[in-house]
Amino acid sequence: MKRLVAIPLAVFAVLAATALFAPVAMAHPAYASVCSDCHGGANVAVTATKKSETASAVTYTLSAPTATAIGVFNGATKVTAITATTGTLSIPRGKTYRILAVKGPGTSDGLGSITVKAPATSASTSVATKTTIAGPSSVKVKTTLALTGTVRTATAAAPGTVTILKTRLIGGLWKSQGSAVVTVTSGKFAYSFKPTVKGSWRFQAVYAGKTVGTTVCAASRSAVKGVTVK
């Protein structure tokens, strides 16, 4: 007959407690510490591809096909965590972020790391603009002269302002009669003026240019519009 070996009840208690409270090694996207402090193992591929940019930040698409989570850090400070294999991230210009891809559930299942620096300045694209001005060729003195105009690129309306330059023929010379700044809305502008002196007048719209995101709408000016004030 085989002898039964008696194991003290206290031993069972110790073993049960050990199993109950043993730590489980897994990826923790909610943790604030740098992933590499705990995780390691085989390299996990992670990439960052530029998606878009503005004057203040660059947006990247992050991809780590085999990762459980992606952590983003500014130095030792956690910026965000993505609990998916892909996601988007905006980095302020001039800043460098560390991107860590973690594969779980174990802490030794894999880790990948890259650093991404957003360029300090944008790669701007300049586009030409065309400015026009139109209105009547004559008007009576002390009545309102209504001028309208447009500012456009080859494909779209340009934003910003135009300066209306006013000159009058005096003694055979064209002399300034002041200027006015007018807002361009949806590529159009309007300006009203009431001349108090008869004679030959000229009006010209000067567009100063405008930067929108990474697109620079170049400066331009209209042809001169002649008006006779009777």
Taking residues 20-43, report their average pLDDT.
60
Same domain, 113 and 129: no
**114 within 8 A of 47, measured Cβ to Cβ:** yes
DSSP state for residue 144 in the 8-state scheme: P
Q: Is 179 within the bounds of a domain?
A: yes
**110 within 8 A of 102, measured Cβ to Cβ:** yes
> What mean pLDDT, rounded, does the chain reach?
85
pLDDT interval class at 12 (50, 70, 90):
very low
Question: What is the C-alpha to C-alpha distance for residues 131 and 219, in angstroms, rounded to an integer?
Answer: 9
Last residue of a domain, which of 117, 148, 179? 117
- Out of 23-27, 125-129, 176-180, the most confident range is 176-180
78: pLDDT strictly greater than 70: yes
pLDDT of residue 4: 46
Show the domain range for 64. 26-117
CATH of the domain at 224: 2.60.40.10
52: pLDDT strictly greater than 90: no
- Out of 2-6, 19-23, 26-30, the most confident range is 26-30
Q: Which residues pair with 227 in a beta bridge?
A: 201
pLDDT interval class at 11 (50, 70, 90):
very low
How many residues make up the chain in this entry? Answer: 230
Question: What is the C-alpha to C-alpha distance for residues 122 and 12, in angstroms, rounded to an integer?
Answer: 66
- Percentage of the chain modeled with pLDDT above 90: 67
DSSP state for residue 35 in the 8-state scheme: G
Same domain, 205 and 157: yes
**214 within 8 A of 184, measured Cβ to Cβ:** no
What are the backbone angles phi and psi of residue 186, rounded to the nearest 5°?
Answer: 50, 40
Same domain, 144 and 184: yes
pLDDT interval class at 224 (50, 70, 90):
very high
pLDDT of residue 32: 61
